[in-house]
Each structure stands twice: as C-alpha cells, then as structure tokens.
C-alpha cells in the first residue's frame, strides 16, 4: 500500500511524488479509486477538489489541472460553475480523463480521454512503477 498525501484547497505540496487530481469524484468513484490504489507500490499526492459553490477556489483548481500528472474529472457530479469550465479542464492537460453519463457530450470533439471507470489507471501507474524501479 502506498503512502498517499491527501491535499485540498488551498494547499499545495511540492515533492517528487506523482500527483493525481480528482475533481468532484462520486462516492462510487472514490471507492473504485481506493480499491485500485491498494495494489500500487508507489507513493503519490492525491489532490481533491469538491468544494461547495460558495467556497470555490478557481485559481487553485486551474493551477492544479496544469500541474497534476493525472486529472480525473467527474463532470456530472460537479457544480454548475465547474461544469462551465469543463471544456478548459479537459483540454488543459493531456492526462485529463473525464466521466459523464451524457449520451452525446460535445467534449468528445475536443478530447478522446472519456472514461467510464478507472481501469485505465492500472496501465498508467504500471508504467510509472516500472520507471521508478529502473
């Protein structure tokens, strides 16, 4: 089991660990993530953004979208203000993966990183783990 540093706005941690940003993850997504990371042997920073509308910290969120190694954005679970930023968020980082239940989301035209679960992380983190062992 890895050492996971959980970070929320307005904090930032600057170290050499890989970083994952979760934006409004549903409870199901959180549980899937927890199950998945139990098998990892690499420490990482977990940034979590799920603030209420009145508390939004747009600067923190947008900077973390650029900084994080992997971004996972649950569009349907986010607030309307953050959904307004969805097109920017999903294109700002090549490793931004997004989830939605919408039948024909316009985001398919600007990003091929639509996912339906977190199984893609197995492949991503396996590559990171192999690099760290070399």
- CATH number of residue 21's parent domain: 3.40.50
What range does the domain containing 108 cover? 4-133
In the predicted model, is pLDDT for residue 128 greater than 80?
no
Asked if 111 and 96 touch (Cβ cutoff 8 Å), the reply is: yes
- What pLDDT sits at residue 124? 66
| CA distances to 10, 35, 54, 119, 126 from 122, in Å | 29, 11, 35, 6, 6
- Looking at residue 133, its pLDDT comes to 45
Q: Is 49 helix (H, G, I), strand (E, B) or coil?
A: strand
Task: Provide φ and ψ at 20, rounded to 5°.
Answer: -125, 135
**Which residue matches tokens 């549980």?**
31
Number of domains in the chain: 1
- Inform me whether the pLDDT recorded for 68 exceeds 50: yes
DSSP state of 5: E
pLDDT for 11 equals: 97
| pLDDT of 127 over the 70 cut | no
Cα–Cα distance, 134 to 114 (Å, whole number)? 31
């Amino acid at each position: 089991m890895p050492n996971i540093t959980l970070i929320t706005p307005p904090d930032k941690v600057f170290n050499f660990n890989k970083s994952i940003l979760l934006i409004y993850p549903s409870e199901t997504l959180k549980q899937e993530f927890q199950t998945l990371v139990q098998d990892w042997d690499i420490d990482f920073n977990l940034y979590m953004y799920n603030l209420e509308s009145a508390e939004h910290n747009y600067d923190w969120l947008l900077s973390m979208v650029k900084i994080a190694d992997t971004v996972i954005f649950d569009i349907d679970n986010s607030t309307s203000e953050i959904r307004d930023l969805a097109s920017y968020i999903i294109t700002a980082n090549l490793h931004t993966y997004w989830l939605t239940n919408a039948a024909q989301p316009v985001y398919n035209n600007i990003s091929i990183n639509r996912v339906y679960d977190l199984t893609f992380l197995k492949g991503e983190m396996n590559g990171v783990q192999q690099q760290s062992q070399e």
